[in-house]
Amino acid sequence: MNHRERLSTPILIAYALPYGPIVASNMAVLIFLAPLYSTQVGLSLTQVGVILFATRIWDLVTDFIIGLVSDRFRCRYGRRKPWILLGMPVLALAVGFLLLPPVGASAFYLAGWLVLFYVGYTLMLINHMAWGAELSVDYDERSRIQSWTHAVFIVFLILVLSIPALVERQAAASILAKTSAIGVFIVISLPLLTVVALRVAPERELPRSATIDLRAALRAIFRNPSFMRLLTVDFATAFYGGSISALYIFFLTDVVRVGQISGLALLVYFLASIVAIPLWLRLSVALQKHHALSVAVIVAGLVSLLWLLLPAQSPALTLAAMALAGLPFAAAGLLIRSMVADVVDQDQLRHGESRTSLFYAAYNLVNKAAVAMPLITLLPLLETFGFQAGGSNSERTLDLFRWVFAAPAVLAAVVVLAAMARYGLDREEQLRIRDALQANSPRAKFTESKYEY
């Protein structure tokens, strides 16, 4: 069996394209929905908060349901593509109605479209992740697939964050004008890029799950030692990423007092992360994924110590520090998702079923929880230290803020190094698993493509 066959770059780009607007839609909802509906539509913050929380719980439930059902599904058009095609109009419509609300929109309007939003979002995201995991059987090619996916994600992140600034240049635009521009951009780009992916990128045929038994499937997943290590690593790195998102503006504005360059600093951060993606890809080939991941978190931990030393009112040094901090940003996401694909192979060999979507649903659940955790842990902690956003803070309070801002990266490094120290699912083990699967199953092949494995 040829494990080293590579997918062409156009196929990888085509596959990765929908991931940008999919994730951008969720980011737009998380960032803009609360201020939009509380200031422009007229709902109270309590109403918006309760609706966002309740529909987020709904999102967590749908992750596992959609993951389980899509693993069971198969038709002549593929296993993942029909679900992505089904979710695309649902997500596009929901984004349009949520970000361009009519005058007098009610709480039921917000709740109803959010429910549909998360249905479409989960249909597309979980199946897109599973599709990428199944595109290749090769250990290193899976990292290459994820590197393109992450690059597209960062490009769309930059584009979406740039839209409000562009709108503001035309006039003193309201938040409704900004969200409307973002909504139009996503509604147009999502179907276009999804169609390109469905037409160009192939899909491998795999055996479907024999039964729909959520309890048995979850028991197998959460008793998998390799996967539990990855979930631990993902929680630690996602918590670190979430802490940057939650505290970044406060750190630049109140601690180092360079809030005027916050937008530029964020752009530098993401551009550095794109530049570093080929480096992490090469390291994953040279050192193997789990060792490359360990290197990345060591770099992140060391760079985070700069936050303790960064002088106030030093824009140039702040931009340099943000560039260094951006270098390891992409590594965790692309490497962990690639490693989850290897765990799916391991599970399939043990249990005889391919449960890719369900594994990625569990991964996605932990990732969402970890990203949100700093909002309910670090922000209240800073309040206990006496921190006041935009107010007068003592030097001691600002020093404590620096430690809180730096600590998650260091803690993530400790957790990842401990979890990866004895990680056994390396390149050689994955090759053995794939050979065993190939010997026990019919020849796997791509649908709608000349490429075969």
CATH number of the CATH domain containing 285 = 1.20.1250.20
Residue 208 pLDDT level (bands cut at 50, 70, 90): low
Task: Please tell me which residue, 29 or 17, carries the higher pLDDT value.
Answer: 17
Specify the pLDDT at position 171. 59
Tell me: the pLDDT tens digits for 286-338?
A: 999 999 999 999 999 999 999 999 999 999 999 999 999 999 999 999 999 99
Considering 35-44, 55-64, 126-135, the range whose residues carry the highest mean pLDDT is: 126-135
Non-local CB neighbours of 209 within 8 Å, separated by 6+ positions: 68, 71, 72, 217, 353, 354, 355
Task: Say whether both 130 and 256 belong to one domain.
Answer: no
The answer on 105 and 24 residing in a single domain is: yes
Do 191 and 302 belong to one domain? Answer: no
Q: Is the pLDDT of residue 28 over 50?
A: yes
Least confident of 191-205, 309-323, 351-365: 351-365
pLDDT for 444: 45
- Structural domain count, the chain: 2
Query: Given a cut of 60, is residue 449 above it in pLDDT?
Result: no
The larger pLDDT score, comparing residue 181 to residue 218, is at 181
Any domain includes 208: no
276 inside domain: yes
Q: Are residues 223 and 345 in the same domain?
A: yes
Q: Contact, 451 vs 217, CB < 8 A?
A: no
State yes or no: pLDDT of 409 exceeds 70.
yes
Q: Output the pLDDT for position 448.
A: 40
More confident call, 305 vs 352: 305
Is residue 117 pLDDT above 60, yes or no? yes
Q: What is the pLDDT of residue 441?
A: 63
Residue that terminates a domain, selected from 202, 235, 263: 202
When mean pLDDT is compared over 1-10, 339-348, 439-448, the highest value belongs to 339-348
Q: Are residues 193 and 278 in the same domain?
A: no
224 and 174 belong to one structural domain: no
- Give the residue from 330, 291, 288 showing the smallest Cα distance to 416: 291
pTM of the entire structure? Answer: 0.87
Amino acid residing at 65: I
Using a pLDDT cut of 70, give the percent of the chain over it. Answer: 93
Domain limit, last residue, from 141, 173, 202: 202
Answer yes or no: is 207 within a domain.
no
Confidence band, pLDDT 50/70/90 cuts, at residue 164? confident
pLDDT in tens, 133-160: 999 999 999 999 999 999 999 999 888 8
At residue 300's C-alpha, the angle toward residues 391 and 251, to 5°, is 5
CB neighbour class for 4 (10 Å; exposed up to 12, middle 13-18, buried from 19) = exposed
CB 143 within 8 A of CB 341: no
Domain that holds residue 275: 213-453
Same domain, yes or no, for 281 and 357?
yes
Q: Please indicate whether residue 228 or residue 373 has the higher confidence score (pLDDT).
A: 228
Shared domain check, 263 and 123: no
Does one domain contain both 251 and 155? no
Do both 248 and 179 map to the same domain? no
State the pLDDT at residue 280. 96
Confidence of residue 248 (pLDDT cuts 50, 70, 90): confident
Q: Is residue 374 a part of any domain in this protein?
A: yes
Residue spans of alpha helices (H) in 171-203? 175-200
Choose from 48-62, 241-255, 329-343 the range with maximum mean pLDDT. Answer: 329-343
Kindly write down the DSSP assignment for every residue of 247-272, as one continuous string: HHHHIIIIIS--GGGHHHHHHHHHHH
Average pLDDT of the residues in 269-291: 95
Tell whether 399 and 347 lie within a shared domain.
yes
Domain boundary among the residues 202, 231, 249 is at: 202
Instruction: Measure the CA–CA gap between 145 and 62, rounded to whole angstroms.
Output: 26
How many of the other CB atoms lie within 10 Å of CB of 73? Answer: 16
321 and 194 within one domain: no
Mean pLDDT of 3-16: 86
Question: Looking at residues 66-81, what average pLDDT do you find?
Answer: 81
